[in-house]
């Protein structure tokens, strides 16, 4: 029944997985940027590929859901999607991207909000700007004032889903009007000489973003409603997944982090200023990176307990050059192994899984995360069905890094990623 409602184009498998010219911002995927997002067309193709092998599938889990790209595409294909993440900003984005809102309510609430955001109203406004450590370093006084003004207008919106959408437009605005350098995930300040010339129009920026989000949500509204059940998005550590039901999922599609946030993608730093403005307590807004995979520095070194020859040989090779770094890398893969353990408990026997991973080099040692995931999964009762590669033409990722930290010494990494398709047999869970 639900399958009949899914447009056939959404169930088609792509011939080329690079998606060089794809519109990555269609529908609700336009809502809020996020580091290392999956390309929607890619997520769509992967889900379709798994469903080809398991046509009766109804439920899908993305245990590292980020901004919810996979969840949106699963909902559009009529599945019941569940997402999990530890970054509160990711969860908010994913929720907004997967929640349809009645078109009349959306239209009238947003028109009312936009009408109230005039320069004259801002000029006359005399509210109090919230305090948080570093506020005046990252925001000019007139910018903070305009942001607080917008926030007050959002707070009086009646519909909670429209309010959540407006908060995401606000959060994106926070990033764009802050003193941070454009195009970076980490927090770097614009140099002082350039800062003098930096005077973004906060009201206009917010209005433009919100109008784009509204159109994106309307474009996908009907398709999000075909989901077998409303998308469930929960906060939790993938290493234990306590808020996700056991033995419930037919499909699992995910892209885990590439390494710890400190040395690869800094999800927490990317989110910090937004989270401070959205009112999270500083200890939650500032500690995201430390909680993510590999963020807790390992106390002891026990590579033999990780059931992967690729981890053991990689860690040993790094240890010859830098034992501390080796333990960090080992800590990341130990967490990944724990995550695979908890994901496994959530799957039904026979579930189909897709992992999207890019390999990386540390100290010139290549860490083949595709092989590592295949080995860790095999120890838990999975069979590798296929390991495909695709080029990464337009993902916002570090395309190259310096393996030795010597300026100019570039090691090309992350120009390709692997799509690892596995079947869970259920025997060794
Ligand atoms: C590559 S991103 C996922 C991007 C997502 N596919 C998208 O399109 O937006 C990896 C995500 O894993 C999350 N993460 C890292 N460690 C985690 C952990 N231990 N538990 C839950 N989420 C974690 C990060 O917060 C980040 O959102």
394 pLDDT more than 70: no
pLDDT band at 428 (very low <50, low <70, confident <90, very high): very low
Q: Ligand 1 pocket check: which of 257, 274, 354, 417 to mutate, most ligand atoms within 8 Å of Cβ?
A: 257
State the average pLDDT over residues 112-119.
96
State the average pLDDT over residues 187-203.
93
Find the 283 Cα to ligand 1 centroid distance in Å. 19
Q: What is the pLDDT of residue 214?
A: 98
Ligand 1 close to Cβ of residue 259 (< 6 A): no
Q: What is the pLDDT of residue 403?
A: 40
| Minimum-distance ligand 1 atom for the alpha carbon of 66 | 27
128 pLDDT more than 90: yes
Rounded to a whole number of angstroms, the distance between the first and last alpha carbons of the chain is 32
State the average pLDDT over residues 338-366.
96
Ligand 1 close to Cβ of residue 67 (< 6 A): yes
429 pLDDT more than 70: no
Ligand 1 close to Cβ of residue 17 (< 6 A): no
Q: What is the pLDDT of residue 10?
A: 80
Q: Are 63 and 86 in contact (CB under 8 A)?
A: no
Q: What is the pLDDT of residue 222?
A: 94
Q: What is the pLDDT of residue 261?
A: 86
Q: What is the pLDDT of residue 183?
A: 79
State the average pLDDT over residues 167-179.
97
Q: What is the pLDDT of residue 301?
A: 57
pLDDT top residue among 357 and 394: 357
Find the 199 Cα to ligand 1 centroid distance in Å. 33
| Minimum-distance ligand 1 atom for the alpha carbon of 291 | 19
Q: What is the pLDDT of residue 283?
A: 85
Q: Ligand 1 pocket check: which of 24, 69, 86 to mutate, most ligand atoms within 8 Å of Cβ?
A: 86
Q: What is the pLDDT of residue 149?
A: 98
- Look-up of token digits 């695709």: 390
**Cα–Cα separations (whole angstroms), residue 221 to 10, 28, 93, 243:** 15, 9, 16, 27
Q: What is the pLDDT of residue 137?
A: 96
Q: Ligand 1 pocket check: which of 66, 256, 337, 354 to mutate, most ligand atoms within 8 Å of Cβ?
A: 66
State the average pLDDT over residues 108-119.
97
Ligand 1 close to Cβ of residue 93 (< 6 A): no
pLDDT digits (tens, 9 = 90+) for 221-273: 999 999 889 999 999 999 999 999 999 999 999 999 998 888 888 999 999 99
State the average pLDDT over residues 181-195.
88
State the average pLDDT over residues 327-333.
93
Ligand 1 close to Cβ of residue 90 (< 6 A): yes
Least confident span in 6-15, 111-120, 199-208: 6-15
pLDDT digits (tens, 9 = 90+) for 39-79: 999 999 999 999 999 999 999 999 999 999 999 999 999 99
pLDDT band at 134 (very low <50, low <70, confident <90, very high): very high
State the average pLDDT over residues 298-324.
84
State the chain's mean pLDDT as an integer.
90
State the average pLDDT over residues 81-94.
98
169 pLDDT more than 90: yes
Domain ranges of the chain: 1-9+25-255+260-293, 296-352+360-429
Find the 266 Cα to ligand 1 centroid distance in Å. 11
């Amino acid at each position: 029944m639900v399958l009949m409602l899914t447009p056939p184009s959404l169930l088609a498998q792509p011939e080329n997985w690079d998606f060089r010219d794809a519109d990555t911002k269609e529908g609700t995927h336009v809502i809020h940027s996020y580091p290392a997002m999956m390309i929607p067309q890619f997520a769509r193709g992967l889900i379709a590929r798994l469903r080809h092998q398991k046509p009766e599938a109804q439920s899908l889990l993305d245990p590292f859901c980020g901004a919810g790209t996979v969840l949106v595409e699963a909902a559009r294909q009529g599945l019941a999607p569940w997402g999990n993440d530890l970054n509160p900003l990711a969860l908010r984005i994913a929720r907004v991207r997967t929640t349809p809102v009645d078109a009349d309510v959306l239209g009238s609430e947003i028109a009312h909000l936009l009408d109230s955001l005039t320069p004259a109203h801002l000029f006359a406004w005399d509210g109090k700007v919230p305090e948080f450590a570093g506020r005046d370093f990252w925001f000019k006084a007139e910018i903070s004032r305009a942001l607080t003004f917008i926030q007050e207008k959002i707070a009086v919106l009646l519909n909670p889903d429209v309010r959540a959408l407006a908060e995401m437009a606000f959060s994106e605005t926070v990033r764009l009007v802050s003193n941070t350098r454009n195009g970076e995930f980490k927090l770097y300040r614009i140099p002082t000489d350039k800062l003098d010339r930096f005077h973004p129009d906060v009201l206009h920026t917010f209005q433009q973003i919100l109008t784009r989000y509204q159109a994106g949500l309307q474009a996908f509204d009907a398709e999000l409603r075909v989901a077998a059940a409303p998308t469930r998005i929960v906060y939790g550590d993938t290493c234990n997944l306590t808020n996700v039901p056991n033995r419930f999922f037919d499909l699992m599609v995910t892209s885990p982090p590439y390494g710890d946030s400190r040395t690869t993608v800094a999800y927490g730093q990317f989110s910090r200023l937004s989270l401070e403005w959205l009112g999270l307590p500083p200890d939650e807004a500032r500690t995201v990176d430390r909680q993510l995979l590999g963020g807790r520095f390992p106390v002891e070194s026990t590579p033999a307990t990780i059931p992967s020859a690729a981890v053991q040989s990689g860690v040993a090779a790094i240890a010859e050059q830098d034992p501390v770094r080796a333990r960090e890398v080992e800590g990341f893969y130990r967490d990944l192994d724990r995550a695979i353990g908890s994901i496994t408990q959530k799957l039904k026997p026979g579930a189909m899984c897709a992992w999207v991973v890019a390999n990386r080099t540390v100290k010139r040692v290549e860490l083949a995360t595709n092989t590592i995931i295949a080995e860790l999964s095999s120890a838990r009762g999975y069979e590798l069905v296929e390991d495909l590669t695709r080029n990464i033409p337009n993902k916002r990722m570090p395309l190259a890094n310096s393996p030795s930290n010597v300026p100019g010494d570039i090691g090309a990494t992350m120009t390709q990623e692997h799509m690892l398709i596995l079947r869970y047999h259920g025997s060794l869970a």
